[in-house]
A and B are shown apart, each in its own frame.
Chain A
Amino acid sequence: MRKSVDSQCQTFQRAIDILSSRWNALILNVPAGRVAAIQRAVGAGQGARRQGALGPAQGAGSTRAAAAASGRRSARSRELRAHPHGPGVRRAGAGHRALGPRAGAGRTTNPAVAGHNIRLEREGCAGWIDSFAAAYLEESRAVSPSDRVRELVEQIEHADQVGLDVFGIGEHHAKSISTRRRP
């Protein structure tokens, strides 16, 4: 049973649950005054990857500690930013391919998205993901640069479908970004 951390952040929770294990950075787009709630939500998201279920709310700052402790990926940036307008209410289409950890488990639909109304409150949290086209750190997940950038476009498409507000991509000139090849 999934425990809700913040009723106004459910969409972002879902998005993180679905998408987060592949990101090396997240930008959270929040109205002023809701930073702590977002930090708790993301803290739970971090827990989800380790435990397979959303854990209880953690205190502000735990997100960052968890990110620093994670050897699987580097938290290149963790940013807080407000958005002047809230997103609308959207219905996610059923049947689109799940991305993230579940995709590898053979599921073709995402249970957190398909058939559900994905609702973002105007005064609630809004989702924001930022990513470099980063290669995966684990050898087992290394993909070709071509596959990685195509996958990134799919991830943006998916982020759009689950109702995230903004997707940002960082500029980088290092070999480790997007150029790591399968061994």
Chain B
Amino acid sequence: MILAAAAARTRQIRLTSAVTVLSAADPVRMFQQFATLDLLSQGRAEMVVGRGSSIEAFPLFGFRLEDYDALFAEKLELLLKIRENEHVHWSGRFRPALTGQGVYPRPVQNPLPIWVGVGERHSRSRRAGVLGLPLMVASLAASRIASGHSSTCIARRDVRQATRRTS
């Protein structure tokens, strides 16, 4: 909602989440919200989706922490499917199936930019790489930040990959 307010008062800057805790959210609703932001901003919206650096969202929205990997994998898959297709056929463990319903609104940008945000756990980096998604790396622990070169390396590697895809 803050980004929506900002969209109405800005002209050039791109607006993104950092991050959307996709594991504890409904990908359909999230896509609709960011598509709306994209319409409001005339094509300046992006999403960065991730597990989240803190765990409050899981019990708050009725999800189990033990499922965090499976939740993220499933919801990311659905989100990308919605991005690619106006009408979606999909079924999974954590959400009722979609049987060809349309997901609206559709964004100005096609495709809507979606990044994967990761913390220190590099397993999600690999997932982003496999899916061909650009990666945003956060160094969340101050004690590790000083020697955060490994994270930086991963960010740079995957970013090059992303740049190739967009050019």
Q: Give the B-binding residues of A (Cβ under 8 A).
A: 25, 27, 32-33, 35, 61, 64-65, 67-68, 75-82, 84, 87-88, 90, 130, 133, 149, 152-153, 156-157, 159-160, 163-174
Contacts and interface: CB of A to CB of B under 8 A. Distances in A.
A152 B9 CA distance: 12
* Residue in B11, B15, B138, B152 whose Cβ sees the most chain A Cβ within 10 Å: B138
B53 A153 contact: no
Interface string B116-157: 000000000000000000101111101101111001100110
B81 to A, nearest CB: 22
Contacts of A130: 18
Given A160-B10, A166-B14, A78 B5 contact: no
A53 B19 CA distance: 32
Contact of B139 (A64, A82, A159): A64
Interface in B10-48: 10-21, 46, 48
B98 interface: no
Given A64-B145, A64-B146, A68-B146, A87 B159 contact: no
Nearest to A79: B138
B15 A79 contact: no
Contacts of B6: 153, 156-157, 167
Nearest to B15: A167
Contact of A152 (B2, B14, B18): B2
13 contacts: A27-B136, A64-B139, A64-B146, A80-B156, A156-B2, A156-B9, A166-B15, A167-B15, A167-B16, A169-B2, A171-B17, A172-B56, A173-B57
Contact of A87 (B12, B143, B145, B146): B12
**SS of A interface (majority):** mixed
Given A78-B138, A164-B13, 4 more contacts: A25-B18, A84-B163, A165-B13, A169-B3
Contact of B152 (A75, A80, A133, A163): A80
B46 A166 contact: yes
Contact of A168 (B17, B143, B167): B17
Contact of B56 (A77, A81, A166, A174): A174
B156 A173 contact: no
